[in-house]
Chain A
Amino acid sequence: MKTHSICVLVVVACAITIGCRHDMQDQPKYKPLGQNRFWADGRDSRPIPAGTIAVDELNADDPTHTGQANGAFLDTIPLPVNMSLLERGRDRFDIFCSPCHGWLGDGNGMVARRGLRAPANLMDQRSRELPPGYVYQVISNGYGAMGDYADQIQDVRDRWAIVAYIKALQLSRGAPLSDVPDDQRAELTGSSTMGGRQ
């Protein structure tokens, strides 16, 4: 009889501990995007009070953050423009802009083809004349039917990288053959389309 009751005890204990498992599995802690019935908005993450500024991040007058100086859009890129900035720019452009504006910036992205109100052709004359500071500002604040990308592209250096890449695309798309170094010209004359990304 005794062995039996011990066995029963062990089995019951097993069953109980299996039940316990979920206390460790689902701990009462706050997680990113977690659900929380305590707060009225149902979220773990608490909103940052309006007007909060992190230490050292009051950038209201910094041209790199506003794209403007003395009330006018910057007509240069306020970061050193080198190959790594352009490569970063291409990477970010392909992620965030190409769905609508297309790989080449000609306004012919996949989403545009499915009927989105025509995104601007970034290679046309009007766009070529837009100062870099203005394009930066479009990324940060949006323009007309285009929403802003401030949350998706939080690092301002990435925004400038995109601007630099767009400017490089525009240059490459309008460049005359004589600008191409001698040793590479032969490669191009064989092909009919010249473009930034092939």
Chain B
Amino acid sequence: MPQYFSRSANTFARMTILALVSGLGLVCWAGFLIVRSPYEMMQNVPREQPVPFSHEHHVGGLGIDCRYCHTSVEKSAFANIPATKVCMNCHSQMWATSPMLEPVRESYRTGRSIEWTRVHDLPEFVYFNHAIHVHHGIGCSTCHGRVDKMPLTWQAQPLTMEWCLNCHWHPEQYVRPLDQVFSMTYTPPPNQLQLGAKLVKQYHIQSLTSCSTCHR
């Protein structure tokens, strides 16, 4: 039988296989990059809401504390979104005829919930707990950014596993005094690492990195 291919075709065949395998690897790697990119995680994208609620006005402008509305953030895993009644404490009188607030008044009249769009949404195989973080000196702004400057709320951090672990490995880089947890203007002092190490001891913070901490 005559030979159809020259010897160099062998190398060619090997190269093709190599290229295919590494190409596949590249595609998977690119896929991972895309899946974890700020774009896919919807980082920094202000979300449309049924009522254009502005933290900038209510927190930055009026100085209302987070816990006036997010009342359960110190007590439970879940930081609640305020009930319509909470808005009506003020808006039964102020801006009481503004069309912008019609969904709030309608919800108050009918008892149906306002359907806020979730901004942060971890996958449901991840367990997260607000109370633990708040009581160990991790400030809202470390994870949520300058909420008091957001006309519409967006997600300021990537919320990838890498991001969580980065702090669980080195909590001393982020921990702050307990009375500053709700402050939006707190900036870490230049000696954060020393202060952090001291606070880590004082608040008995462990480095929790076993899988079952977050996947339970």
Q: Give A contacts to B, CB under 8 Å.
A: 3, 7, 10-11, 14, 18, 24-27, 29, 31-33, 35, 41-43, 94-96, 99-100, 110-111, 114-117, 145-147, 151-152, 154
Question: In the complex, are the beta carbons of B125 and A24 less than 8 A apart?
Answer: yes
Q: Give B contacts to A, CB under 8 Å.
A: 17, 20, 24, 27-28, 31, 35, 61-65, 67-68, 71, 78, 80-81, 83, 85-86, 88-90, 92-94, 111-113, 115, 123-125
Question: In the complex, are the beta carbons of A41 and B112 less than 8 A apart?
Answer: yes
Number of A-B contacts (CB under 8 A): 78
8 Å CB contact of A147 from B35, B92, B111: B92
Report 26 cross-chain contacts, Cβ distance below 8 Å, ordered by A residue. Answer: A3-B17, A3-B20, A11-B24, A18-B31, A24-B124, A29-B124, A32-B78, A32-B80, A33-B80, A35-B115, A43-B113, A95-B67, A96-B68, A99-B62, A99-B64, A99-B68, A110-B64, A111-B90, A111-B94, A116-B90, A116-B93, A117-B93, A145-B93, A152-B71, A152-B86, A154-B71
Binding site secondary structure of chain B: loop
- Shortest distance in angstroms between A171's beta carbon and chain B's nearest beta carbon? 25
Chain A residues lying within 8 Å of B62, measured Cβ to Cβ, are 99, 110-111, 114
Known contacts A10-B24, A24-B123, A116-B94: does B85 contact A151 (CB below 8 Å)? yes
Question: In the complex, are the beta carbons of B115 and A95 less than 8 A apart?
Answer: no
Chain A residues lying within 8 Å of B113, measured Cβ to Cβ, are 33, 41-43
Question: In the complex, are the beta carbons of A26 and B80 less than 8 A apart?
Answer: no
8 Å CB contact of A95 from B28, B65, B125: B65
Known contacts A26-B124, A94-B65, A110-B62: does B80 contact A147 (CB below 8 Å)? no
Question: In the complex, are the beta carbons of B92 and A33 less than 8 A apart?
Answer: no
Known contacts A11-B24, A26-B124, A152-B71: does B78 contact A99 (CB below 8 Å)? no
- Shortest distance in angstroms between A96's beta carbon and chain B's nearest beta carbon? 6
Known contacts A18-B31, A41-B113, A152-B68: does B78 contact A7 (CB below 8 Å)? no
- Shortest distance in angstroms between A158's beta carbon and chain B's nearest beta carbon? 11
- Shortest distance in angstroms between B192's beta carbon and chain A's nearest beta carbon? 26
Question: In the complex, are the beta carbons of A151 and B93 less than 8 A apart?
Answer: no
Chain B residues lying within 8 Å of A96, measured Cβ to Cβ, are 68
- Shortest distance in angstroms between A6's beta carbon and chain B's nearest beta carbon? 10
8 Å CB contact of B123 from A11, A25, A152, A154: A25
Question: In the complex, are the beta carbons of B89 and A115 less than 8 A apart?
Answer: no
Known contacts A24-B124, A33-B81, A96-B68: does B112 contact A42 (CB below 8 Å)? yes
- Shortest distance in angstroms between A176's beta carbon and chain B's nearest beta carbon? 32
